[in-house]
């Protein structure tokens, strides 16, 4: 698996782990990356690829950075800013993540994981 693929995997894994359905059940309890609506998955891959191309040299662990990209862009209580990166790098990565905006998941009428 390439570093970019690890980054994307970490991002999608975290997205499914952090998201809940209308009943409050974790999405990861019922759905996998295979259940992503094709347009949603394409947007996730596009965002990750763009972010990775710009910032890959600022991270050591691609999978963890994928998690942190999801957490940071969605303003969760952890991410690039929480002290696991040198302060100046954390600030750069946090600002860059926020520029992508929030990306919420939901289960659509076709029982696929989609985004708003």
Distance CA 72, CA 80 (A): 6
Q: What is the pLDDT of residues 40-95, one digit of tens each?
A: 999 999 999 999 999 999 999 999 999 999 999 999 989 999 878 999 999 999 99
Q: What is the pLDDT of residues 16-42, one digit of tens each?
A: 999 999 999 999 999 999 999 999 999
Task: Say whether pTM exceeds 0.75.
Answer: yes
Residue 65, SS3? Answer: helix
Residue 113, SS3? Answer: strand
| Mean local confidence (pLDDT), 87-116 | 95
User: Quick one: three-class SS letters along 22-60?
Assistant: CCCCEHHHCCCHHHECHHHHHHHHHHHHHHHHHHHHHCC
Q: What was the pLDDT predicted at 1?
A: 92
Two structure tokens written together for 72: 């940071």
């Amino acid at each position: 698996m390439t570093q970019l693929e690890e980054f994307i995997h970490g991002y999608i894994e975290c997205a499914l782990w952090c998201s809940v359905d209308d009943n409050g059940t974790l999405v990861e309890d019922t759905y996998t990356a295979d259940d992503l609506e094709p347009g949603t998955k394409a947007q996730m891959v596009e965002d990750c690829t763009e972010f990775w191309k710009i910032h890959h040299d600022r991270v050591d662990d691609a999978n963890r950075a994928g998690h942190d990209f999801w957490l940071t862009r969605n303003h969760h209580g952890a991410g690039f800013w929480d002290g696991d990166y040198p302060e100046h790098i954390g600030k750069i990565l946090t600002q860059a993540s926020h520029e992508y905006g929030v990306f919420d998941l939901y289960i659509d009428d076709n029982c696929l994981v989609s985004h708003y």
